[in-house]
Amino acid sequence: MQQVFKRPTSLKDVQTHFCPGCHHGTIHRLVAEALDEFGLQKETIGIASIGCSVFLYYYFDIDVIETPHGRAPAVATGVKRARPDRFVFTYQGDGDLAAIGTAEIIHAANRGEHISVIFVNNTTYGMTGGQMAPTTLLGQKTSTSPYGRKPQVEGYPIRMAELLSGLDGVAFSARAAVNSPKNLMDAKKQIRKAFRYQVEGKGFSFVEVLAACPTNWGMNPIEANERVGREMCEFFKLGTFKNTAEL
Amino acid sequence: MPRIEIDELRCKGCALCTIACPKKLIATSEHINNLGYKPAVFEGTEVQCTGCALCAEMCPDVAIKVFK
Ligand SMILES: Cc1ncc(C[n+]2csc(CCOP(=O)(O)OP(=O)(O)O)c2C)c(N)n1
Ligand code: SF4
Ligand code: SF4
Ligand code: SF4
């Protein structure tokens, strides 16, 4: 008998601080599996952001730099330009990437930096108590939109994967989810593709992963997992929006 | 025979594995673990488990090992 499912070696064997049912844990594992598959553990520099994924350096067995809120793509730019032999990825939430760090992600993408970006969209600011994010869905109640997000007041949710795919500097942009075994298998493939872009020197790659935040959505893990499929996948369509090298 | 091992000390009782198993072989237990959660337990027999690993794939806490 063989072990057919085990923890990837790029992921430390430690307890995480994530809430029960938080998809950050799942997405961490998928990223670690992709690093293992490409044999990148020893040559990777992970760029962590601010949010519930702030402890990337506790959970990944790789080198990690912790950056100020939203600045991960700027730091990744410097790291990759100084050490082009290293594999460099950022891991950012939607508050981090689509709010405070909008300028950094847009310009790193537009410059076509040779980095990979993992963007975890859970439609809220998880760490700070569930405030509205640019990705919050219309009608969604958050601690700063207690009556539900209204477009006249708070504008519309932003689709980052589509938006970035419009920039000439972007080589690969896709959106995935981990709410069902089928979607999770697709998410694995999209993360692998994004990493292949960098490994093969083919340019900037971006994967948005839809994620549950049961705690701030006021749901149990099963309900939150279902909401990803029911509400988020409706608005944030899964798929590949740009794949210049047709990988 | 395929089988799974659930690490009770890491399990946060989210129950995502229980809905992932196509054969419904996993349930949430009634006792409370060291983290204060009701951990998942395998309730099937080895004959029933196919070793498909969907439970392990869905586990956000990498608490399930699968042998085949
Ligand atoms: C410069 C700065 N401004 C504000 C904060 C407070 N802050 C910490 S985490 C966070 C939002 C994180 O949300 P998101 O990126 O969606 O990640 P999640 O926690 O949901 O994974 C904010 C605003 C900060 N740490 N630094
Ligand atoms: S608050 Fe939300 S994003 Fe943060 S660990 Fe908990 S479930 Fe995950
Ligand atoms: S390996 Fe497959 S059949 Fe066995 S418990 Fe897990 S999901 Fe169910
Ligand atoms: S998915 Fe993992 S953490 Fe959640 S109940 Fe099952 S074994 Fe426990």
Please state, rounded to an integer, the average pLDDT across all residues of chain B.
96
In this prediction, residues A25-46 reach a mean pLDDT of 98
Q: What is the 3 state secondary structure string of chain B?
A: CCEEEECCCCCCCCCHHHHHCCCCCEEECCCCCCCCCCCEEECCCCCCCCCCCHHHHHCCCCCEEEEC
The pLDDT of residue A10 = 98
Residue among A5, A29, A221 minimizing CB distance to B65: A5
Domain with residues B3-67, CATH architecture: 2-Layer Sandwich (3.30)
3-class DSSP state for residue A118? strand
For residues B59 and A200, what is the distance between their CA atoms, to the nearest angstrom?
Answer: 31
Q: What percent of chain B has pLDDT over 70?
A: 100
A124 forms beta bridges with A132
**Closest CA relative to residue A123, chosen from A142, A107, A146:** A142
Instruction: Check pLDDT > 80 for residue A199.
Output: yes
pLDDT band of residue B45 (cuts 50, 70, 90) is confident
Stated as kind and residue range, the H or E segment containing A173 is strand A170-177
Q: How far is A1 from chain B (nearest CA, A)?
A: 5
Q: What is the dihedral of CA A99, A101, A105, A111, to 10 degrees?
A: 130
A77-126 pLDDT tens trace: 999 999 999 999 999 999 999 999 999 999 999 999 999 999 999 999 99
Taking one residue from A and the other from B, the number of pairs with CB-CB distance under 8 angstroms is: 69
The pLDDT of residue A234 = 98
Q: What is the dihedral of CA A96, A101, A102, A106, to 10 degrees?
A: -110
Instruction: Check pLDDT > 80 for residue B46.
Output: no
A205 forms beta bridges with A116, A172
Say which DSSP state A41 is in: G
- Contacts of residue A15 in chain B, CB cutoff 8 Å? 10, 35, 61
- Copy the structure tokens of residue A235: 């608005």
Angle CA(A224)–CA(A228)–CA(A230) in degrees, nearest 5?
105
pLDDT band of residue B68 (cuts 50, 70, 90) is very high
Q: Does B54 touch chain A (CB under 8 A)?
A: yes
Taking CA atoms only, the protein residue closest to ligand 3 atom 2 is B52
Select from B6, B50, B58, B68 the residue to mutate for testing ligand 3; criterion: most ligand atoms less than 8 Å from CB: B50
| Ranges of H-type helices in chain A | 23-37, 56-59, 72-82, 94-95, 102-111, 151-154, 160-165, 181-199, 214-217, 221-227, 233-235
The pLDDT of residue A241 = 98
Select from A19, A23, A50 the residue to mutate for testing ligand 1; criterion: most ligand atoms less than 8 Å from CB: A50
| Gap from CA of B12 to ligand 3 centroid (Å) | 18
Please state, rounded to an integer, the average pLDDT across all residues of chain A.
98
Instruction: Check pLDDT > 90 for residue A247.
Output: yes
A149-179 pLDDT tens trace: 999 999 999 999 999 999 999 999 999 999 9
Q: What percent of chain A has pLDDT over 90?
A: 100
Contact across the interface for B19 and A225, Cβ inside 8 Å = yes
Q: CB within 6 Å of ligand 3 — which residues? A: B 4, 20-21, 23, 25-26, 49-55, 66
The pLDDT of residue B47 = 87
- Copy the structure tokens of residue A182: 């089928």
pLDDT band of residue A48 (cuts 50, 70, 90) is very high
**Closest CA relative to residue A26, chosen from A173, A197, A228:** A228
- Phi–psi pair at B40, nearest 5 degrees: -75, 145
Residue among A4, A15, A23 minimizing CB distance to B60: A23
A60-82 pLDDT tens trace: 999 999 999 999 999 999 999 99
Nearest CA in chain A to B19: A222
Contact across the interface for B68 and A1, Cβ inside 8 Å = yes
Q: Does B38 touch chain A (CB under 8 A)?
A: no
Residue with tokens 């589509």: A162
Residue among A25, A178, A225 minimizing CB distance to B61: A25
The pLDDT of residue A41 = 98
Q: Which domains can be identified in chain A, with CATH numbers?
A: 24-246 (3.40.50.970)
- Copy the structure tokens of residue B4: 């799974």
Q: What is the CA radius of gyration of chain A?
A: 17
In this prediction, residues A194-207 reach a mean pLDDT of 98
- Rounded to whole angstroms, what are the CA distances from A241 to A58, A91, A104, A203, A231? 33, 20, 21, 15, 20
